[in-house]
C-alpha cells in the first residue's frame, strides 16, 4: 500500500518534471555572451580571415545564439600583432594569429607554429592532439591567462619571394627578408637582416625594395597578397615552415566563465575551422601556382648546399632558443623525441608512397 502510493506520487513528479523540461526554453533565461575577436590578417583575407569568421558563425549557431563574436581584422580594433596583449588584458576575448609572433614574450611559443626541418602538418597534428603537445601548449598559454587552440594549418609552405637569385648561403649576407619565428633566426644566422611585417604591409615593402625577399605562406595566399607583382623569383621548398599552423586564443577568465557546453562549442568550432583551412590550402595551391606562373615568375628550388647549411644552422638555432627559457627547453625536447619516432615510420609510409608516386 505504502509502496503503491509512493510509485503513484513518483509518477506524478516525473510527469511534472517532463512538462517542466518541455517548457524550459520558454521559462529559463540563459545568459548570453557578446565577445570580440581581433585577427592578425586583413578582414576576410582568405583563408585565415575566413577561418576566423567561421569560428564566430559556428559559435553563434552551435550555441543557439548564446555566444555572439564580432570579428575585427588587423588594425580595425588593434594592430595586427597586438591581439595577444589585448586578449590577455581582456579588451578582446578571442585572437586569431600565429604563436611564433609572440617569440619576444616567450621563445617556447615558436614551436607551436612551425619548426624548421620539423614536422609536417600531419606530424604536427599528431604531436598536438595525441602526442602531448596540446598539454604543453595549454600550460604555456595559461601562464599568459589564455587558452590556445590550433586554428588553421597551411601545409608545407613555399620558400619565399626573392628579387635576387640565391646561389649559395653567402647570398643571404646582408639580404633583407621578412621571415618570422625560428626560420627567421636561421636566416639571421646566415647573415640576413630579418624583419617581421604583417601580411598587409609586406607588398609595399617588397615593391619599393625596402626588403629584398619575403616568405608568406604558399601560392593560394601569396597570390592574394600580390607578391608576384613585386618579385619574380619564387623559391621552394619551405624548409622553415613545413607544418605551419595558425592559432585561436581565448581569454582564459572569459573562457572559464562560460557554461561547459559553450566551451566545447568553441573547441569544436576551432577544429572545424582548422580542418577547413588545411583543405582550402591543399585544394587551392596548385591552381594559384598555375596563375602565378603566367606573370613571368620563375619557380626555383633552393640549391642543395643552401638547404644543407640551413639544416645545420636550424639545429644550432633550435638549441640556442631552447636554452633561452625552461619552457622552451621542455617543448624542444618533447618535440624532438616525438619527431624522431614519427619520422621513422613516415619513412615507410609517406616517404615511400611519394617516392613511388614520383618515380
Binding site for Ca ion (CB under 5 A): 157, 215, 241
Contact (CB, 8 A) for 200 and 80: yes
Contact (CB, 8 A) for 123 and 68: no
Outline where 293-325 has alpha helix (H): 304-322
CB of 152 to Ca ion, least distance (A): 12
Give whichever of 92 and 177 is closer to Ca ion, judged by the CB atom. 177
Nearest to 239 by CA among 294, 176, 190, 195: 190
- For residues 230 and 238, what is the distance between their CA atoms, to the nearest angstrom? 20
Give whichever of 178 and 339 is closer to Ca ion, judged by the CB atom. 178
Give whichever of 262 and 317 is closer to Ca ion, judged by the CB atom. 317
Give whichever of 98 and 306 is closer to Ca ion, judged by the CB atom. 98
* Residue 294 exposed, middle or buried by CB count within 10 Å (0-12, 13-18, 19+): exposed
CB of 181 to Ca ion, least distance (A): 8
- For residues 219 and 294, what is the distance between their CA atoms, to the nearest angstrom? 13
Give whichever of 55 and 217 is closer to Ca ion, judged by the CB atom. 217
Cβ neighbours for 171, distance < 8 A, ≥ 6 positions apart = 164, 165
Residue 108: how many CB atoms within 10 A of its CB?
26
Give whichever of 31 and 226 is closer to Ca ion, judged by the CB atom. 226
Contact (CB, 8 A) for 254 and 146: no
Three-class DSSP category at 71: strand
CB of 279 to Ca ion, least distance (A): 19
CB of 281 to Ca ion, least distance (A): 12
Give whichever of 88 and 212 is closer to Ca ion, judged by the CB atom. 212
Residue nearest to Ca ion (CB): 241
* Sign of the CA dihedral running 168, 173, 175, 176: positive
- For residues 9 and 7, what is the distance between their CA atoms, to the nearest angstrom? 5
Give whichever of 123 and 243 is closer to Ca ion, judged by the CB atom. 243
Residue 83: how many CB atoms within 10 A of its CB?
25
Give whichever of 147 and 245 is closer to Ca ion, judged by the CB atom. 245
CB of 113 to Ca ion, least distance (A): 9
Give 244's strand partners. Answer: 155
Nearest to 47 by CA among 200, 152, 161, 201: 152
CB of 241 to Ca ion, least distance (A): 5
CB of 220 to Ca ion, least distance (A): 12
CB of 215 to Ca ion, least distance (A): 5
Q: How many CA atoms lie within 13 A of 61 on its CB side?
A: 8
- For residues 169 and 87, what is the distance between their CA atoms, to the nearest angstrom? 40
CB of 157 to Ca ion, least distance (A): 5
Amino acid at each position: 500500500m505504502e509502496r503503491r502510493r509512493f510509485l503513484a506520487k513518483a509518477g506524478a513528479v516525473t510527469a511534472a518534471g517532463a512538462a517542466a523540461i518541455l517548457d524550459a526554453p520558454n521559462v529559463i533565461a540563459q545568459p548570453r555572451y557578446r565577445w570580440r575577436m581581433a585577427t592578425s590578417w586583413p578582414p576576410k583575407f582568405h583563408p585565415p580571415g575566413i577561418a576566423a569568421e567561421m569560428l564566430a558563425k559556428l559559435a553563434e549557431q552551435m550555441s543557439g545564439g548564446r555566444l555572439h563574436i564580432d570579428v575585427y581584422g588587423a588594425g580595425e580594433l588593434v594592430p595586427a600583432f597586438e591581439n595577444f596583449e589585448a586578449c590577455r588584458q581582456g579588451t578582446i576575448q578571442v585572437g586569431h594569429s600565429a604563436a611564433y609572433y609572440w617569440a619576444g614574450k616567450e621563445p617556447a611559443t615558436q614551436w607551436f607554429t612551425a619548426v624548421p626541418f620539423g614536422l609536417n602538418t600531419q606530424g604536427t597534428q599528431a604531436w598536438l592532439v595525441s602526442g602531448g603537445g596540446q598539454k604543453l601548449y595549454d600550460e604555456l598559454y595559461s601562464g599568459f591567462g589564455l587558452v590556445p587552440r590550433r586554428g588553421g594549418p597551411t601545409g608545407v609552405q613555399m620558400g619565399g619571394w626573392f628579387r635576387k637569385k640565391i646561389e649559395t648561403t653567402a647570398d643571404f649576407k646582408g639580404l633583407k627578408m621578412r621571415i618570422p619565428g625560428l626560420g627567421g633566426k636561421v636566416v639571421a644566422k646566415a647573415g640576413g637582416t630579418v624583419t617581421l611585417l604583417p601580411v598587409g604591409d609586406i607588398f609595399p615593402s617588397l615593391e619599393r625594395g625596402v626588403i629584398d625577399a619575403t616568405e608568406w605562406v604558399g601560392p593560394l595566399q601569396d597570390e592574394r597578397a600580390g607578391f608576384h607583382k613585386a618579385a619574380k623569383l619564387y623559391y621552394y621548398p619551405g624548409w622553415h615552415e613545413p607544418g605551419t599552423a595558425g592559432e585561436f586564443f581565448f581569454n582564459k577568465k572569459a573562457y572559464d566563465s562560460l557554461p561547459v557546453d559553450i566551451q566545447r562549442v568553441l573547441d569544436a568550432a576551432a577544429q572545424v575551422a582548422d580542418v577547413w583551412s588545411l583543405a582550402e590550402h591543399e585544394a587551392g595551391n596548385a591552381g594559384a601556382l598555375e596563375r602565378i606562373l603566367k606573370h613571368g615568375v620563375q619557380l626555383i628550388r633552393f640549391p642543395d648546399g643552401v638547404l644543407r647549411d640551413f639544416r645545420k644552422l636550424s639545429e644550432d638555432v633550435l638549441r640556442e632558443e631552447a636554452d633561452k627559457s625552461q619552457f622552451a627547453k621542455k617543448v624542444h625536447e618533447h618535440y624532438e623525441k616525438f619527431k624522431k619516432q614519427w619520422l621513422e615510420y613516415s619513412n615507410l609510409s609517406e616517404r615511400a608512397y611519394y617516392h613511388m608516386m614520383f618515380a
